[in-house]
């Protein structure tokens, strides 16, 4: 994997940089690294384009948290449209 490794004062690896095409090819591996606490920066033509970072703490899965998340998604979706596209069409095009 072509990468730039950056070490902190303690010597611990804390960030990895990979090119976009390599990130696509090794996505599962990168996710495992992130799950272990590392941050991964994805570059496009040498310019940082995205960063994958671990989520903070466990994702709550109790009924109240799930209902709250669903309500927030519904609020977000109000007044938005797919501009004539169907979800099936978007999936076929690789957008989702």
Query: Which residues 6+ apart lie within 8 Å of 7 measured at CB?
Result: 13, 14
Token digits for 69? Answer: 């998340």
pTM of the entire structure?
0.47
Q: How far apart are the first and last CA of the chain?
A: 27
If one counts every other C-beta atom within 10 angstroms of the C-beta of residue 18, the result is 22
∠ CA 42-22-30, nearest 5°, is 65
Fold adopted by 4-52: YefM-like fold (3.40.1620)
pLDDT tens, the chain, 96 aa long = 455 454 545 555 556 888 999 999 989 988 888 888 788 999 999 899 999 988 876 666 788 988 998 999 999 888 888 788 888 888 888 776
State residue 71's pLDDT score: 94
Q: Where are the domains of the chain?
A: 4-52, 63-92
């Amino acid at each position: 994997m072509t990468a730039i490794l950056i070490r902190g004062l303690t010597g611990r690896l804390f960030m990895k940089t990979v090119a976009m095409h390599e990130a696509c090819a090794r996505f599962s591996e990168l996710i495992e690294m992130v799950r272990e606490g590392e941050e991964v920066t994805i570059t496009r033509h040498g310019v940082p384009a995205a960063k994958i970072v671990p989520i903070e703490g466990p994702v709550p899965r109790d009924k109240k948290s799930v209902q709250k998340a669903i309500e927030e998604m519904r609020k977000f979706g109000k007044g938005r449209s797919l501009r004539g596209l169907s979800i099936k069409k978007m999936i076929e095009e690789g957008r989702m």
